[in-house]
Structure 1
Amino acid sequence: MTLNTSQVSYYITQRKKGITQHISAMKAGISVRSGRRIEKGQRAKNSVRHWSTRKDPLEAVWDSMLVPLLKERPVLTPTTLLEMLQDKYPGQYPNSFRRTMQRRGCEWKLQSGAEQEVMFRQWHQPGLRGLLDFTKLKGVVVTIAGKLLVHMLYNFRLEWSHWS
């Protein structure tokens, strides 16, 4: 039987409290031998599975039928695609394939779909920054004592409070 992380952490906390190996293992629901392995560091690390456990149910239609549809109309939802498959091939694609279709559709949109907008969150803190702007007014003539004033308009605004 494989140990899960909660059993291992519970065993370790019991041992840190000073409880014996035998009692700690019993409370955690593991064998004393497994407890010894945990303490010696001989326990195998959990590894992420990188292989498929079953055949892809959409393999026959994904590249030939669904990808061209997604390229033509990227707004189609995976549920709509599944309904289209169910209409075209009755009884071959049950509703239980919905999650598989959603997963594959999401992967396709991320890899081959339209580009997404990149947004960078802006954090404004009080008293940290101010924004300033110089603007040349086109078509506005300003004179002082009859003489033309060549000028630019200056605007300052605090970033957080928007005070100008």
Structure 2
Amino acid sequence: MMKTWDERVDEVWAEASGDEVGDDTIARIDALAAERGVDDARAQFERGGARDSAGRPAEAVELYRHALALGLDEEHRPQCVIQLASSLRNLGEFDDALSVIRVEEELSADGPYRDAVATVHALILASSGRPAQGLSVALLALVPHLPRYHRSMTAYAHEIAELDG
């Protein structure tokens, strides 16, 4: 039985894990993406991910933006935004990264990627010279996972963010 497109993409990523992602992985992902064409959001997202993993964030950003403009499903949109914001952070484009991740924070508030979104948000803040605000975002993401102390830890998280003021 022939494997689905998703299964073949997953196979490339599984074989690339642990290795330095390079031109070979990019070529394999690009070949799979070509089957779906330049107007396929998922194909462009995967192409961006390959370049991102190979340490080519500027190329990844362009492809992630294209994928988002084409429209991704609820599973892949948050992943794409997380990876886009992370790449923008790596490029030192902190304001752009923050605006992208803050929009996703609202969209993913109840979704499975909310903690990953918060993690990237915290990293962007820390990298942009606002580590206390970053810590605050990270702590607020942890609060729902605590067995108790929700009220006090939420208050402390808001308090600590003021240290960057």
Q: TM-score range by the shorter chain?
A: under 0.3
Would you tell me which structure has more helix in proportion to its own residues?
A: 2
TM-score by length of 2: 0.21
Q: What's the TM-score, normalizing by structure 1?
A: 0.21
